[in-house]
Amino acid sequence: MVCAATEAPQELDAALQQVKRDMLGLEEKIRQMESSGSQSRLETLSVYVSVDEDISFRLEKVRLKLDGKTVSESVFYATQQQALKQGGASPVYQGTLMQGKHRLEATFIGTGKNGKRAEYHEQWRLTQPPGRHGMVELHLGNSTFRQAPAIDMRVVD
């Protein structure tokens, strides 16, 4: 029947650990190769999304536009939503952004407190100084008076 001789769970765990280590080693190798090749000196922008622990709006999708052009669309399933609620910050965009003035637009799509689908849009002006890896955090919290979440944008120094 079943139960052909199998190894001990500990052995398997050890093998898995080794494979994980090797993967990390490979990752490092690849990373080094990439960074030695074409180190970009251009200005960049990273955008993160985070939410309040007790947020009632269930965030399902974030669409980002830079200067009118859609640059990213991130989907959040239950696991990711949970990770956000636990305090994680999800990177939703990483790319170059030349110095100067830009417009950043974000659309937050999800389910509201009342169970209805809702979409909220917000936009900001950004000035990218020269030689800068800009980091921006878009934060969703509960709004005291409104159904819509309070959307905050924070430039990280």
- Among candidates 152, 141, 138, 151, which has minimal Cα distance to 56? 141
* Nearer Cβ to other proteins (118/150): 150
- Please identify which residue in the block is written with the tokens 């990483």: 94
Q: CA angle, 64 as apex, 63 and 66 as ends, to 5°?
A: 155
Give dist(CA 66, CA 124) in Å, integer. Answer: 10
Give dist(CA 104, CA 122) in Å, integer. Answer: 9
Q: CA angle, 5 as apex, 23 and 15 as ends, to 5°?
A: 15
Task: Map residues 44-83 to x or -, x wherever contact with other proteins holds by CB under 8 A.
Answer: -x--x-x----------------------------xx-xx
Residue 32 CB, shortest distance to other proteins, in Å, is: 8
For position 84 contacting other proteins by CB under 8 A, the verdict is yes
Residue 57 CB, shortest distance to other proteins, in Å, is: 16
Containing H/E element for 14?
Answer: helix 9-37
Encoded amino acid at 103, one letter? R
* Nearer Cβ to other proteins (114/144): 144
Which one of residues 61, 88, 96, 119 is an interface residue with other proteins (CB under 8 A)?
88
For position 19 contacting other proteins by CB under 8 A, the verdict is yes
Task: Map residues 109-138 to x or -, x wherever contact with other proteins holds by CB under 8 A.
Answer: --------------xxxxxxxxxxxxxxx-
For position 20 contacting other proteins by CB under 8 A, the verdict is yes
Quote the strand ranges of the chain, DSSP E: 44-51, 58-66, 69-75, 90-96, 100-111, 117-128, 133-141, 150-156
Interface with other proteins (CB under 8 A) = 1-4, 6-7, 9-10, 12-13, 15-24, 26-33, 35, 41, 45, 48, 50, 79-80, 82-84, 86-91, 123-137, 139, 141, 144, 150, 152-157
